[in-house]
Chains A and B, each alone.
Chain A
Amino acid sequence: MDDSRAKVLVVGVGNTLLADEGVGVHVANMLQDMTLPAHVRVMECGTNFMAIAPHLRGVRKVVIIDAVRAGSAPGTLHRLSYEEMESAAGGLRFAHQVNLLSSLRLLRVAEPGFSQAGIVLLGVEPRTVAPALEMSPDVRASVPRVVEAVCTELSAKG
């Protein structure tokens, strides 16, 4: 159901059957076990990003955690604003089949107020996306840094 108090939405994206592709989901699950401010809602949507649509009312900021290939060392954390995602669209490759950027564009068009919301992508460079329930050691080791980066986003203005 809609929860209008949730002004910041943290969304973990990915497929946990494909090793590091599931990092966003694993981080979201960890965050759900933590005590966070009441205005923060954490959810994971697998690779179905459009499933966040019922939760966008009154949201001023969305923090997305996902696996992103940018040619860096596995476990490297990338931070991109929505504008940076748009300008990097040609060179940026999400590690799974869902087109996150297309979904965001559509939601910005269709959801009243969402086009004004701040959007931040915290992308983790994967080592492997082969079938496995466990993440690679490099990416697993990056998880505390990703959690810390989410907390930084939650305390930042805007």
Chain B
Amino acid sequence: MSTSIVIDHLCRIEGHGGITVEIKNGKATRVQMDILEGTRFFEALLKGRIYSEVPGIVSRICSICSGVHTITSQLAVEDAFGVQVTPQTRLLRDLFLQGGNIESHALHVFCLALPDYLGYSGAIAMAADHPDKVKLGLELKKIGNTVQEVVGGRAVHPVNTVVGGFGKVPTADELRQLRNKLVEGLDLAQTAVDFVASLETPRFTESPTLYAALRPADGSFSLLGEQICLSNGQAYPIHEYRQVCNEFVVPHSHSKHSMFNGQPFMVGALARLMINGAALNGLAKEAAQRLGLDSFTENIFHNNTAQVVELVYSLEHSIQLIDELLQAGVKQEKPVEVKVRAARGTGAAEAPRGILYHSYTFDEQGRLTSADVIAPTSQNAANIEKDMRVAVERLAGEPKEVLAHKLEMVARAYDPCLSCSVHLVDLTNG
């Protein structure tokens, strides 16, 4: 007996995508995550641009992820020209990325994923019965927005952060006000942990999973790092990102897929916890223990709970960063001067959805000649299909509409950003 499931439009994700599944005698003969956002190659807009213009242009690839695109782009430019930024810049960039993490996770957990757990079609329907949950999510999200506004100058598409540092540095007073909001947010996040701990996590996709996440030299839990670590124990410097992301084109998707040595892998909050979770401390460590994420799991639904742990981490760490900045004394320092040269540079950062890579080549005038951007959802696409295949084979006896809903839940658990996944720059002929 054969059957097929076609979902033309996946709800509650960023961008336009669907799912196609064919089942024959209980076996999945076809499982596809169809990424249908129109392909958008921006090479014509970037080629020949001077290095300082590049981060501002690539930040527009996706407004949801504009902050981390900007920082990763600046890291790639600085790597190419050998720019060493100041300790204050490193702290401010870290704080800025934490703001994006808070904003993104709060929206995903409470407005996109939670309706699946509570049995609603979406956040608006859920709000009728659980207004406190939606409000909690949006309050946390606003705090993330505010972090990005104070540090980046705007909630979306930052203007303060530039190659070599910051054009405008937040004042000590602004940071103190922000700290007060973060402290309030940390209380809210604790409420979120209590609530999420009461939810049952589905287990129907549990299967062997390879994770990848960045790790800094000091071994701390971080959204920045110099090494790409895999859960099989292997590690690569970020310059060798192509060793991890072996990209290939699939006919059903406008996004490329990635495999590591022929094996799909997962990036994102869960991957970060599985690889670096032992380095968590304070309230985030307690949250990980409370939510059962202090030991290894291969269940993608734990990505939703991992995002809650990271909400606590990002709020707590942001407070620590502000304390460090205030203690050192906030300096209105100028960005480090850039000396251009013909060179290639690579930057990587942990976006809310996983590792983001930007790699550029510049000529001797500092004009871009080639660019390569790999977004987390492209890296996750093959793993999403792996998990959906497991679900199909375990749940083959379920009514078709139940199975379809569960497959949507699998895709949503990855928090995919399809806009980023196709808005890729791939200009390798420079």
A→B interface (CB under 8 Å)? 1, 15-18, 43-48, 50-54, 97-98, 102, 105-107, 109-111, 131-133
- Which B76-122 residues sit within 8 Å CB-CB of chain A? 103, 107, 111, 122
Please state if B60 and A46 are interface contacts (CB–CB under 8 Å).
yes
Contact A46 B63 (CB under 8 A): yes
B37: A residues at CB distance < 8 A = 97
Contact A131 B123 (CB under 8 A): no
B16 at the interface (CB under 8 A from A): yes
Mostly helix, strand, loop or mixed at chain B's interface?
A: helix
For A47, the chain B residues whose CB sits under 8 A away are 62-64, 419
Given contacts A48-B63, A106-B124, contact A53 B141 (CB under 8 A): yes
A54 in contact with B149 (CB, 8 Å): yes
Do residues B63 and A53 form an inter-chain contact, with CB atoms below 8 A?
no
Residues of the A chain whose Cβ atoms lie less than 8 Å from the Cβ of B145: 51, 53-54
CB atoms of B64 and A54 under 8 A apart: no
Chain A contacts for B149, CB-based, 8 A: 1, 54
In the bound complex, how far is the Cα of B275 from the Cα of A57, in angstroms? Answer: 41
Please tell me if the beta carbons of B66 and A132 are within 8 angstroms of each other in the complex: no
**A44 smallest CB distance to B (angstroms):** 8
Which one of A1, A47, A51, A107 has the greatest number of beta carbons of chain B within 10 Å? A51
26 contacts between A and B (CB under 8 A): A1-B149, A1-B177, A15-B60, A15-B63, A17-B40, A43-B154, A44-B157, A46-B156, A47-B62, A47-B63, A47-B64, A48-B64, A48-B156, A50-B141, A51-B156, A52-B155, A53-B145, A54-B142, A97-B37, A97-B418, A106-B124, A109-B131, A110-B134, A131-B45, A133-B45, A133-B57
Question: Residue B135 contacts which of A15, A18, A110, A131 (CB distance < 8 angstroms)?
Answer: A110
B111 contacts A131, CB within 8 Å? no
Q: Which residues of A contact B61 (CB under 8 A)?
A: 17
From 34 to 60 in chain B, residues with beta carbon under 8 angstroms from any chain A beta carbon are 37, 40-42, 44-45, 57, 60
Cross-chain contact A1 with B150 (CB below 8 angstroms): yes
Interface size range of chain B in the complex: 35 or more
> Cβ of B63 and Cβ of A131 under 8 Å apart?
no
Let me know if B419 and A53 touch, CB within 8 A. no
- Rounded to whole Å, the gap between the CB of B126 and the closest CB of chain A is 10
Tell me the complex Cα distance, A47–B124, Å: 20
- A45 with B134: CB separation less than 8 A: no
**A46-B63, A46-B156, A131-B44 known; A109 and B124 CB under 8 Å?**
yes
Task: Quote the shortest CB–CB distance from B176 to chain A (angstroms).
Answer: 12
User: Please, which residues of chain B bring their CB within 8 A of the CB of A53?
Assistant: 138, 141-142, 145
Contacts of A44 in B (CB 8 A): 154, 156-157
Give the nearest-CB partner of A45 in chain B.
Answer: B156
Within 8 A of A (CB), among B145-179: 145-146, 149-150, 154-157, 174, 177
Residue of chain B at shortest CB distance from A49: B63
Contacts of B16 in A (CB 8 A): 97
Report the 10 A-B pairs with minimum CB-CB distance, sorted nearest first: A46-B63, A48-B63, A51-B155, A47-B63, A109-B127, A46-B156, A54-B142, A17-B60, A110-B138, A48-B156
Q: Of B15, B103, B127, which one neighbours A97 at CB under 8 angstroms?
A: B15
Q: CA separation between A44 and B157, bound complex, in Å?
A: 9
Q: Which residues of A contact B418 (CB under 8 A)?
A: 97
Nearest Cβ in chain A — how far from B53, in angstroms?
10
- Report how far A1 CA is from B131 CA in the complex, Å: 24
Residues of chain B with a CB closer than 8 A to A45's CB: 63, 155-156
Question: Contacts A54-B142, A54-B155; is A17 near B124 (CB within 8 Å)?
Answer: no
